[in-house]
Amino acid sequence: MLPRAAATNHLFTIGFGGGSVTLKEEDQRESSQTVRKQGAPGSDVYFVGVPENSITVLDSESGDPVATIPVGEDPRWIQLSPEQFTAWVTNFGSDSISMIDTDTRSVLRTINLAPGSGPLGIAPGPWNEWLYVVNSTSDSLSRIWIPNESVMMTVDAGAGATHVAVSPDGELAYVTNQTDGTVSVIDTLSMELVTTIEGIPGAASVTFGDRGSKAYVTGCTDSGELYFIQTSDHTVTGSIPVGSDPVSVRLSPYGVSLFVANRGSGTVTIVDVRTETVRETVQVGNEPVDVAAVL
C-alpha cells in the first residue's frame, strides 16, 4: 500500500460537459480514482475524456491539471488497480483498453478487443493478472488474461450491461444491466452466471463495501435511488433516494462514505455507510458523472 497523502479534504466532482468542481468537505476520504503519489505529499486525481480521447490528471491539493495522457477513442471508464500503480481505461470508440502507469503518467500498453465490442465498465481481478470488462454491444462480460492480452472467456449478462465490480475476495463479479434493471452475479473463475438480482430499475454503477458483505448499486432513473445488496444471498435489502439520474457510486477506501454523482440534478449525494442514510447533498452543477475525493 502506498503512503497516504497529507490532509487536504478536497472532493472533486467530474462534469459531463468537461472540467471539474472542487469542494471543501469534512471527514471525507479518497475514492478509488485517486492515486497517492509515493514519497511525495499530495495525490493525483484521474478522470476521463477531457480533453477528448485523453485522461486528465489533477493535483489534489491545488486542483490544477498536471498531465494529459492520450488514450483511445471515446474513453468511458477508469479504474485503479488495488495497489494503485496501474489505471485501466476502457476506450469505447476504438474497442480497446489502455493500461496507464500512475508513476510515469503514461500508457504502458494497449489491449485491443474485438471490433464492435463497445467496452464500458472495467474491473481488475485478484493478483493483477485478470481484467473483467463489460462489452456493451453484446451485453456480456469478458475475462482478459493480462500477461498475453487475450480474452479467455466471455459470458452473457443482461440487457444494457454497463458496469462491473469484483468482490474483495475476487470470487464474484457484479454486472449492472441498465435496460433490464438487474445485476448479473458471475463466478470470476468459471465465468458462469450464479444468479440475477432483480428489482433495480436503471441499474448503472456498482461498488462493494463492508469488506464485501454489501454491494451498492445506483438506479439511474429520474427519481434516482441507491440500492443496498446483501452479498451473502444476493438480495436487495433496501434503498434510499439520492438525486435524479445517479450515474456513478464510489466508496472511500476506509469504507466510511459513498459518493453518488447525480447527473440529472447536478448534485453529489454523500451517504453514511454505517447507517445507510444520506449525510449531505451538495449542489455542483454541470451534470456530474463521477466523483473522486482525497484526504
Residue numbers of the domain that contains 161: 10-294
pLDDT score, position 39: 39
User: Among 9-18, 58-67, 263-272, which range has the highest average pLDDT?
Assistant: 263-272
CA distance 144 to 133: 8
Angle at 24 between CA 288 and CA 84, to 5 degrees: 70
Count of CB atoms situated within 10 Å of the CB of 241 = 13
Among 259, 279, 181, smallest CA distance to 10 is for: 259
CA distance 232 to 235: 8
CA distance 204 to 76: 13
CA distance 81 to 294: 17
CA distances from 43 to 48, 64, 124, 181, 241 (A): 17, 12, 21, 36, 32
- The answer, yes or no, to whether residue 6 has pLDDT greater than 50, is no
Is residue 137 included in any domain, yes or no? yes
- The answer, yes or no, to whether residue 294 has pLDDT greater than 50, is no
- The answer, yes or no, to whether residue 189 has pLDDT greater than 90, is yes
Give me the amino acid identity at 53. Answer: N
Give me the amino acid identity at 185. Answer: V
- The answer, yes or no, to whether residue 295 has pLDDT greater than 80, is no
C-alpha cell at 203: 441499474
Is residue 3 included in any domain, yes or no? no
Which phi-psi region, left, alpha or beta, contains residue 63 (left: φ > 0; alpha: ψ -120 to 50)? left
Q: What's the total number of domains in the chain?
A: 1
Which phi-psi region, left, alpha or beta, contains residue 50 (left: φ > 0; alpha: ψ -120 to 50)? beta
% of the chain residues with pLDDT over 90: 59
- The answer, yes or no, to whether residue 125 has pLDDT greater than 80, is yes
For the chain, state the CA radius of gyration.
17
**Confidence label for 285 from pLDDT (cuts 50, 70 and 90):** low
The conformation of residue 37, written as its DSSP 8-state character, comes to P
- The answer, yes or no, to whether residue 218 has pLDDT greater than 80, is yes
SS3 for 127? helix
Q: How many residues in total does the chain contain?
A: 295
Say what the pTM is. 0.86
Count of CB atoms situated within 10 Å of the CB of 107 = 17
Check which CATH number belongs to the domain holding 39 and give it.
Answer: 2.130.10.10
Is residue 2 included in any domain, yes or no? no
